[in-house]
Amino acid sequence: MKKPIYLDNAATTAARPEVIEAMLPYFGELYGNPSTVYSLGASSKQAEENARGIIAGTLGTDPKNIYFTAGGSESDNWAIKATAEAYATKGKHIITSKIEHHAVLHTCEYLEKQGYEVTYLDVDENGTIRLEELEAAIRPDTVLITIMYANNEIGTIQPVAEIGRIAKAHGVLFHTDAVQAYGQVPIDVDAQNIDMLSASGHKLNGPKGIGFLYIRKGLKLRSFIHGGAQERKRRAGTENVPGIVGMGKAAEIAAKTMQERTDTERALRDHLIGRVLAEIPYARLNGHPQNRLPNNANFCFRFIEGESLLMLLDMAGICGSSGSACTSGSLDPSHVLLAIGLPHEIAHGSLRLTLSHETTKEEIDYTVDQLKMIVEKLRSMSPLYEDFVKHGK
Amino acid sequence: MYSEKVMDHFMNPRNVGEIENASGVGTVGNAKCGDIMRIFLDIDEEGIIRDVKFKTFGCGAAVATSSMATELVKGKSIQEAMQITNKAVMDALDGLPSVKVHCSLLAEEAIHAALWDYATKNGIVIEGLEQPKSDISEHEEDEEY
């Protein structure tokens, strides 16, 4: 199979060769369990602590505050459920937004069934929460604000530092799902008053099956996975040493290359958006025009449906996404696109293209050329387009 | 996810288009669910479906079932067309994923809606045909965005 043009880097990324190279010894000759006393185990322990140190450095915090997990969803589950449990005597109210990832939304829905109350904040047409609504939603029994750093579908970046300030002023804990943002934008957990932060390895050219939760020192969060004394007794289970090493390497490269890489991606992404909006009629950009992840473009094309679009793009060798991959099993359009106020029939025609450091201008130009033909083909067979042309509706 | 036949009918849909002054036109589904099918029938004096065209807004399965349904009714009598069920459409496509079965139901309904339009225009009764329940115009009146 010819190498596809991969524009679905928000779904997952290819691990960098340096990452794979760093991981390999820990599958083979350096297989020791980090919890053991002999030197084979000690080398695993050392590699793990090295990765922890790198990651802590990227967030401006102490390595002791980084807890490795199996990924973003586990980190979100842990942060939200453990906070709810630990602070239940203070109150049972949580604030989140309508555009969170399902790892947060479904965890909140689970807690609602356990007697917790959840406020789901609306977002504006760009997908940004309104700070005054957040502040007004805080009650004496509010224990947690969980708002994502940047949205996985439309790329909108939330005013995280302001949210942190509001949370701190009201004595409420603040968790952010930074799965899409980590490695793409600079984060400082102290300056931004972030109490907990979730991240995942495979979104930043690291391996799958590894992530971490940052927990501010002093928070009385209990263990989520019970068992051995790993991760300072807060997350049991023999560590995924190759994964941890790979995530550390990926985080190191992501931090080192951030400025240059995101400048290049942003320029290419803006070229993509510019061409699509100029050359394809009845197209719109979803998400904030400026405050968005540097590699994210999300469009709606009226009168056509997203899955057909993705299938024809795939035939042209282009990988994209319509809504989030997790949404594709359901028949409803994305909750994020509905939350920014799009009607159902327009939300059905969405396309997300997310770039990587390997994306080239030639690939973008080829994609737009193909997209123009595909959108035209699908419109030519769309009864909605026929009605629009004939009756203007 | 899809069979080769579904992919073929999606990539190269048969009978796409419109028929001017069609004998019967039926539109089913609604944009909220993400599927709309419109079928045009050209029926001669003998009650034979001489030509059929479709337009569809929807997923790959919606396009493929529309295409296959038009192939199955082309050249058939009205009574023969009435016998074509969603299962026949699915079988002809070598099956559909379970979440897409509703697309084949929509294709059956679209044929019935076009036949209902023909029957209404000509003041005739087609045995076994009931008024289509999911016509797009009804939905548009019901739902305000």
- Pick from A311, A331, A344: which is nearest to B31 by CB? A344
The interface residues of chain B toward chain A in range 31-50, judged by CB-CB distance below 8 A, are 31-38
**Touching check for B132 and chain A: CB below 8 Å?**
no
Q: What is the pLDDT of residue B134?
A: 56
- Pick from A308, A312, A383: which is nearest to B36 by CB? A383
pLDDT at A168 over 80: yes
Residue numbers in A near B31 (CB within 8 A) = 344-345, 348, 384
- Pick from B16, B60, B99: which is nearest to A308 by CB? B60
Q: Do B16 and A380 touch (CB under 8 A)?
A: yes
Question: Which pTM value belongs to this model?
Answer: 0.94
- Which tokens sit at B14? 């048969």
Q: Which residue has the tokens 């084949």?
A: B104
Q: What is the pLDDT of residue B141?
A: 39
pLDDT at A325 over 80: no
Q: Do A344 and B145 touch (CB under 8 A)?
A: yes
User: Across A92-96, A228-232, B120-124, which has the greatest mean pLDDT?
Assistant: A92-96
Domain assignment present for residue B142? The answer is no
Residue numbers in B near A391 (CB within 8 A) = none
> Distance from A3 to chain B by nearest Cα, in Å?
21
> Distance from B138 to chain A by nearest Cα, in Å?
15
> Distance from A108 to chain B by nearest Cα, in Å?
26
How many contacts, defined by CB atoms under 8 Å, are there between A and B?
62
Enumerate residues 6+ apart whose C-beta is below 8 A from B105.
Answer: B86
Domain assignment present for residue B8? The answer is yes
**Touching check for B29 and chain A: CB below 8 Å?**
no
Q: Do A381 and B63 touch (CB under 8 A)?
A: yes
β-bridge mates for residue B53, sequence order: B40
CATH value at residue B79? 3.90.1010.10
pLDDT at A180 over 80: yes
Q: Which residue has the tokens 């799009």?
A: A342
Place B31 in a pLDDT band, splitting at 50, 70 and 90: confident
**Touching check for B60 and chain A: CB below 8 Å?**
yes
CB-CB contact of B59 with B2 (8 Å): no
| Residues of B labelled catalytic | 33, 103
Domain assignment present for residue B132? The answer is no
* Average of per-residue pLDDT across B24-52: 92
A348-375 tens-digit pLDDT: 999 999 999 999 999 999 999 999 999 9
Cα A85 from Cα B59, distance rounded (Å): 43
Residue numbers in A near B55 (CB within 8 A) = 381-383, 386
Cα B10 from Cα A312, distance rounded (Å): 9
Cα A255 from Cα A182, distance rounded (Å): 9
Domain assignment present for residue B96? The answer is yes
Residue numbers in B near A315 (CB within 8 A) = 11
Place B145 in a pLDDT band, splitting at 50, 70 and 90: very low
Cα distances (Å, whole numbers) of residue A204 to A201, B6, B70, B90: 6, 36, 47, 42
Q: Which residue has the tokens 């309104």?
A: A130
Cα B98 from Cα A328, distance rounded (Å): 14
Q: What is the pLDDT of residue A202?
A: 98
Q: Which residue of B has its CA nearest to A343?
A: B145
Q: Do A329 and B27 touch (CB under 8 A)?
A: no
| Residues of A labelled catalytic | 326
Q: Do A303 and B57 touch (CB under 8 A)?
A: yes
**Touching check for B10 and chain A: CB below 8 Å?**
yes
Q: What is the pLDDT of residue A1?
A: 60
Q: What is the pLDDT of residue B98?
A: 86
Q: Do B55 and A307 touch (CB under 8 A)?
A: no
Q: What is the pLDDT of residue A275?
A: 98
Residue numbers in B near A380 (CB within 8 A) = 16
Q: Which residue of A has its CA nearest to B32?
A: A344
Place B32 in a pLDDT band, splitting at 50, 70 and 90: confident
Q: Do A382 and B60 touch (CB under 8 A)?
A: no
| Chain B interface, best mutation among A300, A303, A304, A308, by max B CB count within 10 A | A308
- Pick from B13, B32, B60: which is nearest to A381 by CB? B13
| Chain A interface, best mutation among B57, B136, B141, by max A CB count within 10 A | B57
Q: What is the pLDDT of residue A330?
A: 63
Q: Do A382 and B27 touch (CB under 8 A)?
A: no
Which carries the bigger pLDDT value, residue B30 or residue A367?
Answer: A367
Sign of CA dihedral A352, A357, A359, A362: positive
Domain assignment present for residue B114? The answer is yes
pLDDT at B139 over 90: no
Domain range enclosing B84: 4-123
A195-242 tens-digit pLDDT: 999 999 999 999 999 999 999 999 988 898 999 999 999 999 999 999
Q: What is the pLDDT of residue A143?
A: 97
Q: Domain count of chain B? A: 1
Cα A322 from Cα B55, distance rounded (Å): 22
pLDDT at B144 over 80: no
β-bridge mates for residue A146, sequence order: A175
Q: Do B16 and A329 touch (CB under 8 A)?
A: no
**Touching check for B22 and chain A: CB below 8 Å?**
no
To 5 degrees, how large is the angle CA B1–CA B3–CA B8?
Answer: 120
Q: Do B57 and A383 touch (CB under 8 A)?
A: yes
- Extended strands (E) in chain A: 5-6, 66-69, 93-97, 117-121, 142-146, 173-177, 196-200, 211-215, 283-285, 296-301, 318-319, 350-354
